[in-house]
Amino acid sequence: MTAAATDRATSSPTSRPAPTTKGPTVLRVVASEWSKLVSLRSTAWTAAVTVGLTWVTAYLSANASSGDPGFEPLSSLSQGLVLSQLSMLVLGVLAGTGDFRAGGFRTTFTAVPRRLPVLMAKVLVTTLVGGVVAVVSLAALVLGVLPAARSRDIPLDLTAQWTPQVLLGSGLLLLGMALLGLAVGSLVRRTVLAVTVALALVFVLPVGFVLAADLASPPQVGVSTETVVTELDPVSTVMELMPSNAAYRMTTTPDSAGPDGAPDLGPVGGGLVFAAWILLPLVAAGIRLRTRDLT
C-alpha cells in the first residue's frame, strides 16, 4: 500500500479499528451458516410449501369431517401435518447437502479446520429457521380448521384440555423433521441419495410395514371381543418405533392409547424416540466429518 493510501486509511474518521479476535469464532461461523441457509432458494420454496400444504390439508380434513355430529375441530389439527412434514424434511436435507452440492465445502472447511463447529452451527441455524417455519405452519393449521368450526358455530378455544400440548407436539414434529433431514443430508452428502434415504425412512418403510401388518394379522373369525391384546406384536412394535410414527405420537394426547400390540410410548416417549432418530445420523455425520477426508 502506498503512503497516501495508508494515510487515508488511518486518518479517515469512519475507519474502524481492526478486530482483535482472529479466525472463525463461533458467532462468525453461525453468521456464515445463517447467510448460507437463508440465501438458498430451496429454503424459501420448501418453507412456503410447508405453510401452504399445512393450511390446505387442515382446511380439507376439517371440512370433510365437519358433517359429523360429534365434530371436534381441534381433533383434526393432527391431520394437517401429513404432507407438510415431507417438505420440512426436504428443507433439512437440502440444507445439509448445500455445502457439498456445488463444492463450497472446500472453502468452508478451509476457513474452519476444526470442522465440527460448522455442523453445530448448521444445526443451530436450521433449528432457528425450522422453528420459524413451524410456528407459521401452526398458525396456518389453526386458521385452516377455523372456517369449518365457524360453519358449525363451534368456538375454538386453544387453551382447552390438551390443545396446547398437541400444538407444541405438532411444532416439534415439523422442527424435528427438518433436523432429521439435516442429519441425513450431512451424513450422506449427495442430494439424490440423501433425499431418497430420508423419504424412504420416513414415508416408504412405514407403508411397507403396514402391508406386513395386514398380511400377518390372523383371521378375525371367532375372536371374542373381550380378549384384549396385551402381548407385543413384533411388527407393530417396530412400526411404533419408526421415526414418522414416533413423531406422530408426539402430537397425540397422553390419554389416547397407541396401536394394538405396540408399546404405549406416550407423547414424551414418542418425542424421545424421534430425538434418538435425529441424533443417530447427526452423530454419524459428525464422526464422518471429523475422521474422514472431505473430498
Residue selected from 50, 54, 61, 186 as contacting another protein according to rule CB under 8 A: 61
Q: What does each C-alpha distance from 88 to 16, 67, 105, 199 come to in angstroms?
A: 42, 31, 23, 11
| Grid cell for residue 208 | 411397507
Q: Rounded to the nearest 10 degrees, what angle do helices 163-188 and 266-291 cross at?
A: 20
CB atoms within 10 A of CB 154: 15
Using the minimum distance from each CB to another protein, give the nearer residue, 120 or 205. 205
Give the integer Cα–Cα distance in Å for 209 and 193. Answer: 22
CA nearest to 181, candidates 138, 132, 123: 123
Stretch that binds another protein, among 108-116, 124-132, 135-143, 200-208 (CB under 8 A): 200-208
Q: Which one of 2-10, 37-45, 143-151, 258-266 is the stretch in contact with another protein (CB under 8 A)?
A: 37-45
Instruction: Name the minimum Å distance from CB 254 to another protein.
Output: 22
Amino acid at 74: L
Shortest distance (Å) from residue 42 CB to another protein: 6
Question: What contacts 87, CB < 8 A, 6 or more positions away?
Answer: 46, 49, 50, 53
Please give the grid coordinates belonging to residue 219.
383371521
* CA 151 – CA 274 distance, rounded (Å): 37
In the complex, minimum distance from the CB of residue 52 to another protein, in angstroms, rounded to a whole number: 13
- Identified binder of another protein from the candidate list 50, 66, 79, 236, rule CB under 8 A: 79
Closest to another protein by CB, 18 or 215:
215
- According to CB under 8 A, which residues from 133 to 152 bind another protein? none
Q: What is the DSSP letter of 79?
A: G
Stretch that binds another protein, among 158-166, 167-175, 198-206, 271-279 (CB under 8 A): 198-206
Determine the size of the site formed for another protein (CB under 8 A): 36
Distance CA 172, CA 130 (A): 10
Which one of 24, 28, 40, 288 is in contact with another protein (CB under 8 A)? Answer: 40
One symbol per residue from 91 to 110: x for binding another protein (CB under 8 A), - otherwise; what is it? --xx------xx--------
Residues 222-281, interacting with another protein (CB under 8 A) = 235
Residue 262 CB contacts under 8 Å (≥ 6 apart), including other chains = 232, 233, 236, 237, 239, 240
DSSP class of residue 189? -
Nearest to 64 by CA among 54, 76, 55: 76
Shortest Å, Cβ 116 to another protein? 26
Region binding another protein by CB under 8 A among candidate stretches 54-62, 111-119, 128-136, 222-230: 54-62
Contacting residues toward another protein, per CB under 8 A: 40-42, 57, 60-61, 64-65, 79, 82-83, 86-87, 90, 93-94, 101-102, 191-192, 195-196, 199-200, 203-205, 207-208, 211-212, 215-216, 218-219, 235
